[in-house]
Structure 1
Amino acid sequence: MTIVRLKIITGFIVQNRWVQALIGLCISSFLTFFAIENIAWVEINEGLRNLPIPILLIASGPMALNIILRGARWYLLLPNERIKFSSLLLVQNTGIGVNNISPIRMISEPIQLALITRRYEIRFAKAFTGLIGGNFLDVLASGSLIILGLLFVPALRDQAVSIPILGAFILFGVSTIVFIGVARGIHKLHFLSRFQYFHQVIDSVQLLRERPRNLVLSFAATLGHWIALGLTGWILTFSLGIDISLIAITVILVAATFFTSAVPSAPAGTGTYHFAVVTMFVTMGIDPSIAFSFAIVMHLMSVLPSSAIALIMVWKWGVHTIFEAK
C-alpha cells in the first residue's frame, strides 16, 4: 500500500511542474539557511560596497569569453549548417536566460532546440544531436577538471567539500552512461531507422564521428569555457583578499554549477548555488562572510548576461513565440 501511494505521489510531482517549482524553492530556502548561518551581514555589506569597479570590469572580460566559448561548443557540432555564430549565441542564451528567470526549470534545452529549428531552419535531429553531444563534452570536461582538482588540491578532498562535488559526479556519471549508450547503441537498433526522425539522428551522429576535428575543437572550447569561468572567479577572489589557486576556484565553480543543476532549486539556482560555494570555501578556511560575498557577485555575473539577453529577446520576439516554441 505504501509503495502504491509513493508511486502516486511521485507521478503527481513528475507531471506537475508547479509542484516541482515549489519543491525547488523549499530546498533552496533550506540550503540558504545553512549558507547564511554564520555570516556577518555588516561585513558583507562593507565588502560589496568596497568591491572595486575596475576589478568587476576586468572580470567581465573572461566572463564574456566564457559565454562565447560555450556557444562555440554547440556551433562546432553543427557542421554544414548556415547559421551565424551570433544567432546561435542569441538562441543559446535566450534558452539559458529564460530558464534562469522562470520558476519552472529544465526548459533551457527545449527552448534552444525549438528556436534554432523554427527560426533558423536547422533540422531538429541535427540540432538535437549537436546539443546533446555538446552537453556530454561539457560533462566530460568538467569531470576532468574536478578530478584534476581533487588530485592537486588536497583541501578539496574534505568531507564537507565532497557534498557538492558528489552531486556533480552523480550528474556526470548518469549523463555519461546515457550518452555512451545512445552513441554506441543507436545504430544497432535497425527498426528505429524506419522512422525518419531516428534515421536523421543516426545520420547526425555519424556525421560527427566523421569529423573528429570538430569534436576535439568543441571539447577544447568546453574546457576553455570552464577555465574562463574560473579565471573570472579568481579575479574576484583576488579583489576580496581570498588566497586561492586558479585550479581550486575553477573546480569549486564547476562543482557548484553542476550541484545546482542536479538539485531542485529556486529560479537561477538561487540559494543552492550559494550554499555549494560557501560550503566549499569555508572548508578551505575562508571566512563565511567573505565566501558569501563572493558567491553573491559570482552568481550575478553568471546569470545576469543570459537573463538580460533572454529579456531582450522575449521583448523582441514576443512571449508567445518563446513559450510556444518550448
Structure 2
Amino acid sequence: MKKLLLGFGISVLSLGFLFWNLDLSGFTSILERWKPIFLVPFFIAILWGLLLFSWRWYLLLGKKVPFRTALLSAYIGVGANQFLPARGGDIFRLYLCKKGESIGYGSLVSGIFLEKVLDFSFIFCAGLGALFILGVNGPETKILFPLLGILGIFSALVIVRLFHRHLISLGEFLFSKIGKKEFFSEKLAPQVAELGSFLTFRNVSSYGVLTAGTWLLGYAIHYTLLQYLVGIHLSPLETVFIMFCGAVGVMVPSAPSGAGVYHASITSGFVLLGRESSEGLVYATTVHLGQMVALGILTAILYVYWSFTEKERTE
C-alpha cells in the first residue's frame, strides 16, 4: 500500500509540475492538425507489435505453453499494465500461463526476468546510440555519456556471463551479513544463474534480433503513426530516443501506466532535442492516451474471450 501511495504521489506531483509550468497552447491546436485516419493503422501497429512480443514470450518460456496461451497472456497482461499498479499485468500474465498448464512458476518468472533484461539492454543501447548520433547538447553529451552507458550495459552482461557463479557466491556472502542469505538464495540467485546461462552468442543474437524487431518494427511504428495523428513529426532517430525516454519514465515508481512520470520523461526528451516543451507534452499525452484506449479495448475483448473458453474447457 505504501508503494502504491508513493507511486500515485509521484505521478500527481509530476503532472502538477507539467501543467503548472508548461505552456499548454499546443493542446488548442490539436483539432487543427488532427488526422483521425491514422487511428486505424495505429491500432493495427499495436496488434502487430504485441504479436512480436508474444512470439518472444513463447520462445522465452521454452515453448512449454501453447502459443495461444502465450499470445493471450501477453496481450491481456500488457493491456492490464495500463491500469494495474506495480506492473500488475505481468503478474496477471504469469497467472494466465500457469492456469491449466504444466509449466512451473520458476520457468515463468525466469521468462519475465529475461524479457526485462532484453528490453532494458536494447532500448538503453538504442536510445543512447541515438543520443550519440544526434549529438544533442554539445560534444561531451555526444561522445562520453552515451558511449559510457552502452559500454556499461555490455560490460555488465559479459561479467554476468563469465562470472555468474562468483556473483552468486558474493551475493550470498553480502546478504548473509544482513541476515537475508535465504532470501538471496531463493529469489535472486536462480535469476542470476539463469541469466548467466542464457547469455550465449546464439541466444543473444537470435533473441536480440527479435527484441530489436519488437521495438523498431512494432513499438516505433505506432509511436510514428501517432506523430502523424497530431501533426508532430520526428526523425526515425528522434523517435527511437523518445521511446527510450518513455521507457525510462515507466521504470520510475508511479501510478498505473506511468502517468505523470511518463509525460515528464518524454517532455524532457523533446527539450533535449531542442523542441518545444508544450509539443512534447502534447505528444506524450497522445501516446499515453492512445495506448490506454487501444490496449484497454483489446484487453477487455480478449479477457472476455479467455474467460468463456476457459470456462468451457473446465466444464
| TM-score, with length taken from structure 1 | 0.71
Q: Aligned pair count?
A: 284
Q: Which amino acid aligns with 1:138?
A: D
Q: What pairs with 1:100-249 in structure 2 (closer than 5 Å)?
A: 100-102=82-84, 104-155=85-136, 180=160, 184-185=164-165, 208=198, 213=202, 215-227=204-216, 228-249=218-239
Contact 2:160–2:196 (CA<8 Å) still a contact in 1? Answer: no
Q: Which has the higher contact order (CA 8 A, sep 6+)?
A: 1
Query: Which residue in the other structure is 2:75 paired with?
Result: 93
Q: 1:48 to 1:32 in 2, by over 3 A?
A: farther
Q: Which amino acid aligns with 1:285?
A: G
TM-fit CA distance, 1:106: 3.4
Bigger Cα displacement from structure 2, 61-70 vs 145-154: 61-70
Distance in 2 between the 1:33 and 1:113 partners? 35
Deviations 1:160-205 (A, max 9, x none): 9xxxx99xx7xx96xx57x93898228987xx9xx99999989977
Q: What pairs with 1:18-29 in structure 2 (closer than 5 Å)?
A: 19-29=2-12
Q: 1:240 to 1:187 in 2, by over 3 A?
A: closer
Query: Which residue in the other structure is 2:285 paired with?
Result: 296
Distance in 2 between the 1:207 and 1:145 partners? 24
TM-fit CA distance, 1:83: 1.0
Q: Root-mean-square deviation (CA), in Å?
A: 4.1
Distance in 1 between the 2:195 and 2:136 partners? 40
Q: 1:203 to 1:291 in 2, by over 3 A?
A: closer
Deviations 1:208-237 (A, max 9, x none): 568x64553322121122213223223333
TM-fit CA distance, 1:62: 3.1
Contact 1:24–1:264 (CA<8 Å) still a contact in 2? Answer: yes
Deviations 1:12-59 (A, max 9, x none): xxxxx2x22221112112111232222235x41440564111222233
Bigger Cα displacement from structure 2, 266-275 vs 104-113: 104-113
Structure 1: segments with no counterpart, 5+ residues: 1-16, 322-326
| TM-score, with length taken from structure 2 | 0.73
Distance in 1 between the 2:139 and 2:78 partners? 32
Q: Which amino acid aligns with 2:134?
A: V
Deviations 1:101-137 (A, max 9, x none): 12x3132333222321223332322222222112211
Query: Which residue in the other structure is 2:179 paired with?
Result: none
